[in-house]
Structure 1
Amino acid sequence: MTPVISFGEALVDMLSSRLGESDPTATETFTPYAGGAPANVAVACARLGVPSRFLGMLGEDHFGDFLARELTSHGVDTSGVVRTRQARTALAFVSRDASGERTFDFYRPPAADLLYRLEHLPTGVFAEPAIVHFCTNSLTEPAIAETTLAMAEMARRAGCLVSVDANLRHNLWASGQADITLVTRLLDAAWLLKLSSDELGYLSADHPADAWLAERLAAGVKAIVITDGPGEVRLLGASLERRVTPPTVQAVDTTAGGDAFIGGLLAELSAYLGSAGIHGDWHRDADFLSRAVDTACRCGAHAVTRPGAYVALPTHEDLARLKG
């Protein structure tokens, strides 16, 4: 199998005990769960048996210790994780509505993950073929954005397959909105791109969505998947378009749904590339991509039926038990 390397933030999701507006007079408590989108993807891949590595920075604090333990316990290689006393590990306070859809209040910046620089990269990290995964939350400040874009370029030049999940969190940006130009630079560095229908609407702005997607494919993106919550997933390539319907489940917490989805997709791609090679025709194999997206949908469906992130991510045994 081709290894997966995820870069970006690992943080602690403080999950509220309240669900929607039910019993607003009850005492509200928060339970810590290990999270952070790129870290979730690293765990998702590891739980599906893929060699998985996480690159990032944690504070030398209680929450950093917690995240390091959790990553390791799920089988993620943490040899590329750096610790610092210059900032604390990021926190996200998570509220859920009655359908399990969540909103985030971030305690970031400052945060340790924003201090990662190219000099922190392990020697030879991209020396062997790998899938290298990014999210856009490591673009929210100039220095970490420069690091992220440079790392994506390094990975591409080394012959790695770059994957990007837009995963926009507007309240992490100083302006209150993601920088479309900067985000698009990272998206166009990808061979595999995942975004939601809401993100597509925001990023395409006043352009027709299909024209904007065609621009991404023209820029070098090989395959694009567009999710829509529990709705159909759209799969696009230069010469293909498919739609896949996810299983119907009762959502409890959607925190890791998208991360489970892309983790499942990367796990399928990892297995495929193990025999075909990084530069194979995976993006032209419509049947493979359809099957891979179906697996990704099942991973996302499983994750939203459980609270938290790492602990909600499925194994192959979990997927075998999932109906639909």
Structure 2
Amino acid sequence: MQKVISFGEALVDMLSSKVSKPAGKTEAASHESFTKFPGGAPANVAAAVGKLGGNSVFVGQVGADMFGDFMKASLEDAGVDTRYLLQSDEGKTALAFVSLDDHGERSFEFYRNASADLLFSADDFQESCFEGGGLFHFCSNTLTEPAIRAATLAGIDKAKSAGCIISFDVNLRLNLWPEGADPFEFIWACLERADIVKLCVEELNFICRGQVQAQVIERLLSLGIALVLVTDGGKPLRYHTQERTGTIQPPSVAMVDSTAAGDAFIGGLLYALAEQNISAPLLSDFVAIESALLKSALTFASACGAYAVAHQGAFSSLPGKEDLTPAYFA
């Protein structure tokens, strides 16, 4: 089985649990309590692959603090190799406070200023991490500051040199970017280096900048991207390759919490590719010729996403293979 290397932020999600005002009390109508969960999009993907039984490796940095210890232990409990997870005395583990509305949709408030994940440098990558190739996955949250952006690009280059498939989930969080900063050019710089790209429809609209979606999809494919995936909640997943375009209808489930839905999806897809030992030289043929196998992999990934939507939290909502009952393939 191929190795899946996930790079980026590992942070603690402080997930809301709204509490109604007790009868007869005069304070605000409701207040929120928060419970800690392991999170961070790349860490979620690593955990998704690990819980499915894959060869999952996480690369990044947390603080040498109680939250960093919590993240390391949580990744290991999910079956993730953490030998390349650093713990820094110079920065704290990042936190994300996540409020949910009545439909399970999220809003985020990040505490990530000079946090440990942003202090990871290009020199912190260990060459042994990339030995044997595999799949290298990252998101745009490591593009927000110059130093971590440089580290991300260095990691992509090292992974490509080692023969890895490059997977990029845009996962745009504008409130993580400095005021006045425009992520557009930095996202496109990474799109130009990727083999697999996942965007939600809002992220696709962001990178369109006045062009119609079809034109931008064509541009992405012209860059040499083998597989472009566009998600839209419970609406059909669109996939685009050099040869074809298709859709996959996600399973219909009652939404509880969408926090890790996209990460469960991409983790499921990377696991499916790794399980079939799809290497970089084989990827183009896999998406071009083996359309039935590609659809099977995307259906499996969609089942993983649906399971996550139906459960609360990030790591805690990620399925093992035994959790993916036939209902998640309906």
Question: What is the correspondence of 1:240-251 to structure 2 with a 5 Å cutoff?
Answer: 240-251=244-255
Change (3 A) 1:74 1:225: same
Change (3 A) 1:249 1:178: farther
Structure 2 letter corresponding to 1:12: V
Could you list the runs of 5+ residues in structure 1 that have no partner in the other structure?
A: none
Residue 89 (structure 1) aligned with residue 93 (structure 2): yes
Residue from 197, 205, 218 that aligns with 1:193: 197
Residue 320 (structure 1) aligned with residue 320 (structure 2): no
Corresponding residue for residue 148 of structure 1 = 152
Question: What is the correspondence of 1:247-258 to structure 2 with a 5 Å cutoff?
Answer: 247-258=251-262
Residues of 1 paired with 2:150 and 2:248: CA distance?
Answer: 36
Corresponding residue for residue 12 of structure 2 = 12
Which whole-Å deviations, capped at 9, do the CAs of 1:37-94 have from their partners, x for residues lacking one? 0000000001111100000001011100100110011110000011111110000000
Secondary structure class of the residue paired with 1:150: helix
Residue 287 (structure 1) aligned with residue 289 (structure 2): no
Secondary structure class of the residue paired with 1:262: helix
Which whole-Å deviations, capped at 9, do the CAs of 1:82-140 have from their partners, x for residues lacking one? 11111100000001111101010000122100011121112322121210001000000
Residues of 2 paired with 1:5 and 1:299: CA distance?
Answer: 19
Residues of 2 paired with 1:235 and 1:289: CA distance?
Answer: 10
Residue from 237, 255, 263 that aligns with 1:259: 263
Contact 1:249–1:305 at 8 Å: present in 2 too? Answer: yes
- The worse-fitting range, judged by mean Cα deviation, of 239-248 and 172-181 is 172-181
Secondary structure class of the residue paired with 1:128: coil
Residue 168 (structure 1) aligned with residue 172 (structure 2): yes
Contact 1:168–1:178 at 8 Å: present in 2 too? Answer: no
Question: What is the correspondence of 1:1-324 to structure 2 with a 5 Å cutoff?
Answer: 1-18=1-18, 25-175=29-179, 178-272=182-276, 274=277, 277-280=279-282, 281-284=285-288, 285-320=290-325, 322-323=327-328, 324=330
Which whole-Å deviations, capped at 9, do the CAs of 1:136-173 have from their partners, x for residues lacking one? 00000001001101211221122111101000000000
Secondary structure class of the residue paired with 2:296: helix
RMSD (Å), alpha carbons: 1.7
Report the CA distance between 1:270 and its aligned residue.
Answer: 0.7
Relative to the length of structure 1, the TM-score reads: 0.95
Structure 1 letter corresponding to 2:291: A
Contact 2:19–2:33 at 8 Å: present in 1 too? Answer: no
Residues of 2 paired with 1:313 and 1:97: CA distance?
Answer: 21
Residues of 1 paired with 2:180 and 2:108: CA distance?
Answer: 13
Contact 2:91–2:114 at 8 Å: present in 1 too? Answer: yes
Could you list the runs of 5+ residues in structure 2 that have no partner in the other structure?
A: none
Structure 2 letter corresponding to 1:153: D
Structure 1 letter corresponding to 2:281: H
Structure 2 letter corresponding to 1:303: A
Change (3 A) 1:163 1:79: same
Report the CA distance between 1:187 and its aligned residue.
Answer: 1.7
Contact 1:134–1:165 at 8 Å: present in 2 too? Answer: yes
Report the CA distance between 1:216 and its aligned residue.
Answer: 1.2
Structure 2 letter corresponding to 1:301: A
Secondary structure class of the residue paired with 1:78: strand
Relative to the length of structure 2, the TM-score reads: 0.94
Residues of 1 paired with 2:19 and 2:266: CA distance?
Answer: 26
Change (3 A) 1:231 1:152: same
Report the CA distance between 1:7 and its aligned residue.
Answer: 0.2
Matched pairs, number: 321
Secondary structure class of the residue paired with 1:221: coil
Report the CA distance between 1:19 and its aligned residue.
Answer: 8.6
Secondary structure class of the residue paired with 1:260: helix
Report the CA distance between 1:188 and its aligned residue.
Answer: 1.8
Secondary structure class of the residue paired with 2:113: coil
